[in-house]
Amino acid sequence: MANGKKVLVTGATGQQGGAVARELLAKGFAVRAMTRNPGSMKAAALGKLGAEVVKGDLDDRSSLEQATKGVWGAFAVQNTWEAGVEGEERQGKLFAEVAKSAGIQHYVYSSVGSADRKTGIPHFDNKWRVEEKVRALGFPSYTIMRPVFFMENFVSPWFKPRIDQGTLAVGMKPETALQMIAVDDIGKYGAWAFENHEALNGTAFDIAGDALTMPETATVISSASGRQVGFFRVPIEEVRAFSEDFALMLEWFDRVGYSADIRGQAKKSGIKPTPFTDWAKTAPW
């Protein structure tokens, strides 16, 4: 249980970090929320919930050393799309090293679903290398969680503009079922990892909440948004012109795909997975 333990949460104004910070606060943990911009509205909102907001930069060792002082646990997450594949790996390893030196007792790293399966996807494989670093450092206790594709991605600039025009445009086969997860569920799993740090020490697990094909996803979005949305399969070479990394991921989804045990993990954790239909009802369409 919490027992006043203080947890440093990186990326606290982002999706995963924000969800974990809110859930930890609700569970009675003391939270130190690290962000590059402590003056932002999201940082202020966390402060109102009781978090200690501090400035920190994942590329700046000295700021990380300051942020990790005097905390029991740390939640680590980095963003490929902001830092780049090499930058994310560098940040992930640096933060883990600083956290170990600071005496962090329980370290939770958010990786990605199937990072352990040699996918060949650059922003999956780099997270596996960060995982290996975390394991090698010898933390007193650590847990690695691997979320799959975010439901929130559908309201991001990647997909939302085309959805507004009535099209869910994705470079995947119509028959491919994609596992996905609501970010709030990631927050619940993050809190679970800290609450149960002794039982979960040294473990790594994939987490998902639902699995739908893209035509099924478009149907749900249509119902939730109140406007007709159809599925269009984007030619993969068009995706590749935008991002080789993203194209490799979509091809892997079609060829292999995530393999999270949704029911089994829900039973083990007691966390009820959020179905896409429920998530979509409250999404900002």
- H helix and E strand count, the chain: 13, 12
Q: Going residue by residue through the chain, which has 285 residues, state the pLDDT in tens, using 9 for 90 and above.
A: 566 799 999 999 999 999 999 999 999 999 999 999 999 999 999 999 999 999 999 999 999 999 999 999 999 999 988 889 999 999 999 999 999 999 999 999 999 999 999 999 999 999 999 999 999 999 999 999 999 999 999 999 999 999 999 999 999 999 999 999 999 999 999 999 999 999 999 999 999 999 999 999 999 999 999 999 999 999 999 999 999 999 999 999 999 999 999 999 999 999 999 999 999 999 999
Name residue, tokens 């999270």. Answer: 260
| DSSP state at residue 72 | S
- The token pair that represents 113 in the structure block: 């679903």
Query: What pLDDT sits at residue 207?
Result: 98
Query: What pLDDT sits at residue 172?
Result: 98
How far apart are alpha carbons 48 and 172 in whole angstroms?
Answer: 42
Name residue, tokens 């030196």. Answer: 101
Query: What pLDDT sits at residue 81?
Result: 83
How far apart are alpha carbons 108 and 113 in whole angstroms?
Answer: 15
Query: What pLDDT sits at residue 214?
Result: 98
CATH code of the region 6-150+181-208+259-273:
3.40.50.720
Query: What pLDDT sits at residue 198?
Result: 96
- Contact indicator for 156, 216 with CB cutoff of 8 Å: no
